[in-house]
């Protein structure tokens, strides 16, 4: 168990240039085994000072009063307990856009940008960027997938579904802050619901819970302790969500449309086999920055 930082024991001077304070913060974080100690220290100091951006070592900063010291100590304690910077500051950048996060939403991560890149490429190949496409995001969370794709497709409209009302509220706030509220609607549904009343969709996105239950305890603390379990746990073999999701996805996908889903490491064959049962055919696979197959594209089997 990580003991919260006692600010009085960190020996952080109240009035110093940024480099001295940042060095002390970095040492504390690095000693706790946090690999991103340098960037985290800069972000935390910036937040403590009430700034939106990170503090750089060459900067001269205003003297830190007691309230600022207390904010910094509290945030350091949270980071040392494993809470990611995005949760502490309340937002994460995804696809160069800012998304608020909440306890009900996954923390958007670069791996998921693989889906957006694949979808944008497909739309471009089909000369459909300026068409009024209909998009669907199954399990929308923060809305990052739907809203990132809408930001690339100026004539498109989209619907995001989620079972959690707090997640829906967060997604709506993100849509409004990004100026996409008029083109994005969010509603409460589960993967098992009949989505027929929503109509057909040209592009469907989904990052469902696909991690086997037994593997969750072995995940990094920032994932297992701070991402919602409902968005992680894919059942004993990680396939429970796919058995519910893929038939509904197939029913909602337009004949000429394409669905893009995020998968776990090594799930490509199992997910593809499950998709074939739902009358879907594999149309492409895409790797993340680590070279892992992270996204599969499916179309209606003709």
Domain ranges of the chain: 7-81, 92-300
- Mean pLDDT, the chain, integer: 90
| Spatial distance between the Cα atoms of 79 and 166, rounded to a whole number of angstroms | 24
Asked if residue 219 lies in contact with residue 265, where contact means CB atoms within 8 angstroms, the answer is no
| Spatial distance between the Cα atoms of 28 and 44, rounded to a whole number of angstroms | 13
Tell me: the pLDDT tens digits for 206-217? 999 989 898 999
The pLDDT value recorded for residue 15 is 53
Q: Quick check: 5 pLDDT over 50?
A: no
The pLDDT value recorded for residue 177 is 97
Instruction: Determine phi and psi for 123, rounding to 5 degrees.
Output: -60, -40
Asked if residue 260 lies in contact with residue 118, where contact means CB atoms within 8 angstroms, the answer is yes
Higher pLDDT, 2 or 150: 150
Maximum alpha-carbon separation in the chain: 69
Q: Which two tokens stand for residue 297?
A: 């594209």
Asked if residue 33 lies in contact with residue 81, where contact means CB atoms within 8 angstroms, the answer is no
pTM of the model: 0.88
- Angle formed at CA 283 by CA 95 and CA 149, multiple of 5 degrees: 20
Banded pLDDT at 149 (limits 50, 70, 90): very high
Question: Cα separations (Å) of 195 from 44, 188, 251?
Answer: 43, 11, 8
The pLDDT value recorded for residue 37 is 95
Tell me: the pLDDT tens digits for 174-228? 999 999 999 999 999 887 788 877 889 999 999 999 898 989 998 888 898 899 8
3-state DSSP assignment of residue 9: helix
Over residues 236-256, mean pLDDT: 91
Higher pLDDT, 1 or 148: 148
Banded pLDDT at 16 (limits 50, 70, 90): low
3-state DSSP assignment of residue 38: helix
Strand partners of residue 161: 138, 187
Q: 10 Å Cβ neighbour count for 243?
A: 14
Question: Cα separations (Å) of 242 from 8, 119, 137, 254, 264?
Answer: 51, 20, 15, 19, 12
Q: Quick check: 1 pLDDT over 50?
A: no
The pLDDT value recorded for residue 3 is 39
> Which CATH architecture does the domain made up of 92-300 adopt?
3-Layer(aba) Sandwich (3.40)
Instruction: Determine phi and psi for 54, rounding to 5 degrees.
Output: -70, 155
β strands within 40-83, DSSP E:
none
Tell me: the pLDDT tens digits for 86-145? 999 999 999 999 999 999 999 999 999 999 999 999 999 998 888 999 999 999 999 999
Q: 10 Å Cβ neighbour count for 50?
A: 10
Banded pLDDT at 20 (limits 50, 70, 90): confident
User: Is 289 exposed, middle or buried, given 0-12, 13-18 or 19+ CB atoms closer than 10 A?
Assistant: exposed
Cα dihedral across residues 87, 91, 93, 94: positive or negative: positive
3-state DSSP assignment of residue 276: helix
């Amino acid at each position: 168990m990580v003991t919260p930082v006692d600010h009085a024991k960190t020996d952080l001077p109240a009035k110093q240039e940024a480099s001295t304070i940042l060095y002390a913060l970095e040492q504390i974080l690095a000693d706790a085994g946090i690999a991103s100690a340098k960037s985290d220290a800069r972000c935390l100091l910036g937040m403590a000072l009430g700034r939106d951006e990170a503090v750089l070592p060459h900067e001269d900063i205003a003297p830190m009063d007691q309230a600022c010291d207390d904010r910094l100590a509290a945030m350091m304690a949270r980071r040392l307990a494993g809470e990611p910077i995005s949760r502490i500051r309340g937002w994460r950048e995804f696809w160069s856009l800012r998304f608020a996060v909440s306890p009900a939403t996954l923390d958007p991560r670069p791996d998921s940008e693989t889906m957006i890149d694949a979808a944008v490429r497909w739309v471009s190949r089909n000369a459909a960027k300026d068409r009024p496409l209909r998009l669907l995001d199954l399990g929308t969370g923060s809305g990052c997938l739907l809203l990132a794709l809408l930001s690339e497709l100026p004539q498109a409209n989209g619907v995001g579904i989620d079972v959690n009302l707090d997640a829906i509220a967060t997604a709506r706030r993100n849509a409004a802050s990004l100026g996409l509220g008029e083109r994005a609607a969010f509603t409460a549904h589960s993967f098992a619901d009949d989505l027929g009343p929503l109509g057909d969709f040209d592009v469907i996105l989904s990052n469902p819970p696909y991690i086997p239950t037994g593997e969750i305890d072995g995940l990094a603390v920032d994932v297992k302790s701070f991402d919602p379990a409902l968005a992680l746990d894919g059942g004993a073999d990680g396939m429970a969500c796919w058995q519910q999701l893929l038939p509904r996805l197939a029913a909602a996908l337009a004949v000429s449309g394409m669905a893009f889903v995020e998968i776990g490491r090594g799930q490509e064959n199992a997910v593809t086999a499950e998709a074939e049962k739902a009358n879907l055919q594999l149309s492409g696979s895409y790797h993340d920055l680590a070279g892992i197959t992270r996204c599969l594209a499916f179309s209606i089997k003709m």
